[in-house]
Structure 1
Amino acid sequence: MAGSSAPWIGSAYLFLQSTCKTIALPALYESSQKKPCVFKALKLALADCTGSVNGVDMLKVHCSHPHLIVQLKFCKRENCRRFLRSYREGALQKSLQSHLQLSLAITTVPLEVELKAGSEHLDKMLKDEDRCLECIYREKPDRLPDEEITELEECLKSLMLHQSTNNNVAGKDCSPLKSPPQPYPPQGSSLPTQLTFIFQGQLFDNRTITPDDHQKFAKSVSKKWKQVARSLQKSCRALRDPVLDNLALEYEREGLYEQAYQMLLRFIQSEGKRATIARLVAALEENGLVSLAEELLGLHASEDCS
């Protein structure tokens, strides 16, 4: 494919279309108010699927109703391979839907996605990963990033830096958390699958679940612990219904706190470093437990520290 001394560079086009008649992605992107929100969702979803904010570059976003078309540039074969696997498994589509939903404050954003490299429709050959890589490698980028893309990138970086600074200041004002014991993965030991996520229009680091999160969850979730578990079980085999039924019976005498605590413990032990706050917050939000999600994210930190 590429010579050992030559960099691996390829290009592809990602086609996005909302299947909801009331949501037109091109119109949203053409709106000066909504454009940064849509761009942010695209950027974060691409970071999720490649494991890095620099895993893939966006060169241009085309508005061609009803499609939003994103021209992508890959500078490393391995990043492109991660992207293809995420796309094939549906993880990219889910991440896009989630980020668009949170960024635009919309209940749901159902999407259809399509991937092309030149005249090749890659959706028809996704099982042949090497062939897809070859097609993408053959299509060299024909442009540098648009000025508009560069400006949006800078705005997003500024927002993330501002958010990170605010989080650090809030952490200094409050009592510091002790180092989490096992079974909690050490904070910062490695990057989680999803680097950041958006909740109520704010950007948060996708850290692992801490003991403090665990206790707050068990204390406040009450009877809805099973509903939250069923939301988590979509991506966690350790929380299948028979397991939940056994937990309910085994800890019936101890009450709802212990049942909820043990359920989340199973999730943490099973998922390890993938037991992230973003997954828990999404499950809480799905079941109407927004105030608990806010508490876990420290949105009431100023009240707690006063």
Structure 2
Amino acid sequence: MAEKTLELGPWTGCVVLFLQSSCPHVNLLSLYKDQHRKFLLFKVVKLTLTDSAGGLGGYEILKLHDADPMLGVEVKFMNADACQRFLKSYASGTVCQSLSQHAGRLLTVPQELAVQSQLKAGAHTLDLCLDNIELCLQHIHCSQTGRLRDEEIECLEQELQSQALSHAVQPASLAHGETPLPSNCFKFQRRVFEDRMLTAADVQNFSNGVGRQWKHVGRVLGKSCRALKGPAIDNLAYEYEREGLYEQAYQLLSRFVQAEGRAAKLSRLIKALEDCKLTVLAENLLSIQPQE
């Protein structure tokens, strides 16, 4: 039944994601009302949704609004596949975990941000039926809205795109090696990106997209990671053979993160993917939109 839903043509649906911090000193609604921190919070939400939906193309933020004491995020999904990925991420707790990690990096909150959430489609509270993804998809598809993207969101999106371009376009002097890259940055496809630790969402997106190439990526990572040297890759393949490619890839990158700790950086994974000619997956992890 679920497969039939995903095979349909044009598909849209809307949800409202309600978020509230459990930390007494962090109020998401207050942060959004603060003109100086509104953009950073929007960026946190945008990155979280991109992680969980598998890229930028499957969803659109329509509005952020006051649902005191919670922050409401109205989201429109443009296809059922992206919506299904989001629902699975939400059900597993990955959405809140990803938001916590992005908030810790961008908002510099004093402690790991614990987040409470609720997901609604029209009058339906989806938290009550997350074990039935097909039913959730039906509720979301039925929850259509004629709302266009809020003018404030338009401005925030434009600001985000301008910031991305200013960070991504590499200066000519850098290309000639005249100015070294900052220690917290790395280069990919002649663009400069901010480096960071790998997140749970990165592990999930890698596992979804790498397929049979996970062994090759593992061997490249193993050149600088003791936990993946020797027979480690073949042992993982044997141990998780019954669970399939996703689980094998998931266990590989999870082992890398556990072994390397704070040194398990995004730049190392991107370099490994580049060495294995998996540039499309690398672009997905970096949220690079394909050129038309």
TM-score if structure 1 supplies the norm length? 0.60
The residue correspondences of 1:143-292 to structure 2 (distance < 5 A) are 143-166=147-170, 170=174, 172-173=176-177, 204=194, 261-263=225-227, 265=229, 269=233, 275=253, 283-284=261-262
1:110 aligns with 2:74: no
- Of the candidates 64, 68, 71, which is equivalent to residue 68 of structure 1? 71
- Of the candidates 7, 19, 28, which is equivalent to residue 10 of structure 2? 7
Contact 1:60–1:146 (CA under 8 A) maintained in structure 2: yes
Q: Residue 133 of structure 1 corresponds to which residue in structure 2?
A: 137
Larger radius of gyration: 1
Contact 1:160–1:203 (CA under 8 A) maintained in structure 2: no
Question: What secondary structure is seen at the aligned counterpart in 1 of 2:23?
Answer: coil
Q: Which 5+ residue runs of structure 1 have no aligned equivalent?
A: 177-186, 189-201, 209-230, 237-257, 298-306
1:43 aligns with 2:50: no
Deviations 1:193-233 (A, max 9, x none): xxxxxxxxx9637899xxxxxxxxxxxxxxxxxxxxxx99x
**Cα distance in 2 for residues equivalent to 1:121 and 1:26:** 21
RMSD between aligned alpha carbons? 4.2
Q: Which amino acid is the alignment partner of residue 82 of structure 1?
A: R
Displacement after TM superposition at 1:67 (Å): 0.2
**Cα distance in 2 for residues equivalent to 1:44 and 1:203:** 14
Deviations 1:123-179 (A, max 9, x none): 010010110000000010231001110111111111111111148864541799xxx
**Cα distance in 2 for residues equivalent to 1:169 and 1:65:** 49
C-alpha spacing 1:120/1:272, structure 2 compared with 1 (3 Å): closer
C-alpha spacing 1:147/1:296, structure 2 compared with 1 (3 Å): same
**Cα distance in 1 for residues equivalent to 2:34 and 2:152:** 13
- Extract structure 1 runs of 4+ deviating beyond 3 A: 166-172, 205-208, 268-276, 292-297
Q: Residue 97 of structure 1 corresponds to which residue in structure 2?
A: 100
Displacement after TM superposition at 1:54 (Å): 2.3
Contact 2:197–2:265 (CA under 8 A) maintained in structure 1: no
Residues matched between the structures, number:
219
Displacement after TM superposition at 1:52 (Å): 0.7
Question: What secondary structure is seen at the aligned counterpart in 2 of 1:123?
Answer: helix
C-alpha spacing 1:207/1:109, structure 2 compared with 1 (3 Å): closer
**Cα distance in 2 for residues equivalent to 1:47 and 1:35:** 18
Contact 2:53–2:85 (CA under 8 A) maintained in structure 1: yes
TM-score if structure 2 supplies the norm length? 0.63
Question: What secondary structure is seen at the aligned counterpart in 1 of 2:169?
Answer: helix
- Identical positions, percent: 30
Q: Which 5+ residue runs of structure 2 have no aligned equivalent?
A: 181-187, 205-221, 237-247, 270-292
